[in-house]
Chain A
Amino acid sequence: MQPMRILIIEDDSEAAAYLVKAFREAGHLADHAADGLEGYAMARDGAYDALIVDRMLPKLDGLSLIGGLREQKIDTPVLILSALGQVDDRVKGLRAGGDDYLAKPYAFSELLARVEVLQRRKGAASSDPTVYRVGGLELDRLSHKLTRNGHEILMQPREFRLLEYLMKHAGQVVTRTMLLENVWDYHFDPQTNVIDVHISRLRSKIDKGFDTPLLHTIRGAGYMIRDSSR
C-alpha cells in the first residue's frame, strides 16, 4: 500500500500524538492540527489524502470545518471521530459531508482500516472495474458469477456481496464493523461475532481444496483478501 498523507485535527494533544505515531508506524505520513481554524487552513492548503476530524474542536467545530471545506470544493476524504457515537450523530456527521464516522473509544486497527479504505475510495471512485480478480479468483459484478481457476462457485446473494466488498478492497484490512455496515447496512453492535461465522462459511466456499488461501484473518483487526502466493 502506498504511504498516505494524513491530517489529524484533534485538540487532545495526547490522543493526537498517539495517532501521529501509530500512523507513522503503519507507514503513513501524519500531521497534526490542534484546533478547528488551524486544521481548516492546513486541510485547505495541503495536499492530504485523508483527514481525521474530531467533532468537538476549539475555535471551529468539526462539522462546520467539513462544511467549509466542501463549500470550497475540497473533497479530501474525511473520517469523523466523536465521543458521542450514537445513531443520530453518525447520520449528522455524514450529512455534513463526512465520509465515515468512528466513535471513541476505538481500536486503532479499526481507524487505520477505515482511513486506508477512504483513500482507496477516492482514487477509484470513477473507475470500478466490472470484474475483480485476486489470485485465481474472479468475481464478475455484472453477471454475478464467481470462478476460481475457472471452476464456478455457487454463491448466496449475501455471500456474493460480502466477497464483492472484500475483493473491492483486496490487499486492505476490512474490519467486522465495516462489513456489517457495508454488506448488511447496519451500524449496531451484534454482541456476538456473527460476522466471523459468515466469513468462515465464505472461506470454506472459496479456499477449500486450494493450496493457497486467499481470505486471511488479520488478528485483532479483521479480514483481508490477498494473493499470498505473490
Chain B
Amino acid sequence: MQFGIFTVGDVTMDPTTGRTPTEHERIKAMTAIALKAEEVGLDVFATGEHHNPPFVPSSPTTMLGWIAARTERLVLSTSTTLITTNDPVKIAEDFAMLQHLAGGRVDVMMGRGNTGPVYPWFGQDIRQGIPLAIENYALLHRLWREDVVDWSGRFRSPLQGFTSTPRPLDDVPPFVWHGSIRSPEIAEQAAYYGDGFFHNNIFWPADHTKRMVELYRTRYAHYGHGTPEQAIVGLGGQVFMRKNSQDAVREFRPYFDNAPVYGHGPSMEDFTEQTPLTVGSPQQVIEKTLAFREYAGDYQRQLFLMDHAGLPLKTVLEQLDLLGEEVVPVLREEFAKGRPADVPEAPTHASLVARRDARALEGKEKEAAK
C-alpha cells in the first residue's frame, strides 16, 4: 500500500499570527514539503491544480519536474489535473515529458475542478463538465497509446496524423486515477478503463465515500478488469497530530475554525466525529485511518492533507516527521494483515512495464502454440 500527501496549494493567512505567506514562500514551502515526504519514507506527493488566487499551483508538471530532480523514490502525482479545461494534448505531452525526467515515478489524477469561472477562463462551459471529462480523457487515453492519432470530437479542434511527443516512457503511459466526490459518472469512467478511483474522503461522511467506492468496485468487475476487491482505490485523509492529543486539539483549533473550506461552520468536535478528520495523537490517527478499510475495502493508496489553512511550514514538517516515524510504519504493518494475496498494490511504472511484457509474452506463446 502507498502512503503520501496531497496539497491544495492555498496561500492562507496563519490565523495565529495574522501573517500571509507570499506566493514565492508558499511555492518554496510546497517543494520543501515534497522533499520532506521522501525523507520521512512516504511514497507519494500530489499537488492540486488551480487557476485563481489564493492558490499557487497552476503549473503542476513544472513543480513536479523540480521535485523529481531532487528525489529518488517519491511518486509524483496530482490532486487533481483538470481534464475539463486543459487541452488533453498538452496533458499528454506534459506528463509524458515528466515521466521521462522522473524515471517513471509519475501518475496523474484527473478531476473536473470546483471553481466555476475556470471553465469560461479556459473557453469552456461548466454545464459540459462531465462530457468534457469523458471526451478529453478518451482522447488523452489514445494519445498515450497510439503513435499516430486521427481524431475529431465535440470540444477540441480535430487532429489529423498527430503524434504526441515524447512518447510515454517505455511506451507505458502513466497510471491514471480519477477523482470525484459525488459524480457516479466518474466512478463509472474509472471502472470502464480499469483506472484507479480516488475519493477525496475528507469533507464528507463515510457512508457517502462508501457508496461511491462500492459503485466503482462493482463496475470495475462489470468491465472485466478483475474482482471488485481488485479495483484500485485511493482515499484522502486529513490529520493534525501531537504526541499528546490535547496539545493537538489546542494547537489546531484556530486553523480549523478559520479554514477556507469548512471554517466558521461546525465545531471541530462535530467535524471530526462526522468526517475522516483526526486531530489527536498518532495512535488516534492510526485507529481512524485503519477504520477506512471497513467502508472502502482493502485499498491501494492513502493520501493525507497536511499543509493547508495557513499552517506554518515548520509545523507541517513536524507533522510529516510524526506521520513518517510513528503513523505510516504502523499503518503499513496493520493494513497488510488480513489483506488477501490477490488484492493488487497500486500500479507503478515498473509494475505496468512488467504487466505489458507478461501480456506480450503470453501472446507470443499462444502464437507459437498454434
Chain A partners chain B: no
Chain A interface (Cβ < 8 Å from any Cβ of B): none
